[in-house]
């Protein structure tokens, strides 16, 4: 158990809909990262927040957005869903920012999104 929690575990929805995925980082971690794992694209970095502020952006679509709240939990919002958005969405957390020697990312178990 990494200490990172994600809810829900599974989500099934229809095209055009909007969903929210939630992540609670490990106690004491200030950074939250979101990744998407799909058969087509593999594991891709989406976005990172550090202490409530957006820190880095990866291959995140404009239909997707995220935020980190004062209690440090984070939500990933996916809107106007398409079939191709079906994937496993991982959240990771770390103490600080960057990927240096002392800033290991700990991954949650993921949320499996199925768009029908």
Partner 1 sequence: AQSVTQLGSHVSVSEGALVLLRCNYSSSVPPYLFWYVQYPNQGLQLLLKYTSAATLVKGINGFEAEFKKSETSFHLTKPSAHMSDAAEYFCAVSDLTGGGADGLTFGKGTHLIIQP
Residue owning tokens 């794992």: 37
Q: How far is the CB of 15 from partner 1 (least distance, A)?
A: 25
Burial of 27-40, coded b for 16+ CB within 10 Å and e otherwise, reads eebbbbbbbbeeee
Residue of 38, 44, 65, 79 that binds partner 1 (CB under 8 A): 44
**Region near partner 1 per CB under 8 A, out of 19-27, 67-75, 76-84, 95-103:** 95-103
Round to whole Å and give the CA distance between 13 and 3. 27
Q: Which residue is listed with tokens 């971690």? A: 29
Distance CA 21, CA 66 (A): 9
Which of 42, 70, 71, 83 is the binder for partner 1 (CB under 8 A)? 42
Terminal-residue alpha carbon distance, the chain = 31
Q: Mapping DSSP to helix (H, G, I), strand (E, B) and coil, where does residue 85 land?
A: helix
Identified binder of partner 1 from the candidate list 35, 81, 87, 93, rule CB under 8 A: 35
Q: Does the protein bind partner 1 through residue 98 (CB under 8 A)?
A: yes
Tokens representing 23? 């992540």
Residues in contact with partner 1, counted by CB under 8 A, come to a total of 29
Question: Restricting to residues 60-89, which ones interact with partner 1 according to CB under 8 A?
Answer: none
| By CB under 8 A, residue 51 contacts partner 1 | no
Site residues for partner 1 per CB under 8 A? 2, 4, 33, 35, 42-48, 50, 55-56, 58, 90, 92, 97-101, 104-110
């Amino acid at each position: 158990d990494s200490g990172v929690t994600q809810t829900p575990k599974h989500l099934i929805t229809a095209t055009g809909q909007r969903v929210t995925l939630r992540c609670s980082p490990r106690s004491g971690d200030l950074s939250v990262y979101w990744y998407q794992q799909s058969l087509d694209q593999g594991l891709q970095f989406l976005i990172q927040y550090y202490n409530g502020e957006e820190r880095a952006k990866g291959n995140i679509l404009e239909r997707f957005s995220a935020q980190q709240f004062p209690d440090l939990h984070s939500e990933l919002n996916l809107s106007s869903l398409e079939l191709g958005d079906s994937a496993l969405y991982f959240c990771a957390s770390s103490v600080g920012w960057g990927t240096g020697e002392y800033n290991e990312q700990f991954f949650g178990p993921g949320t499996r999104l199925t768009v029908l």
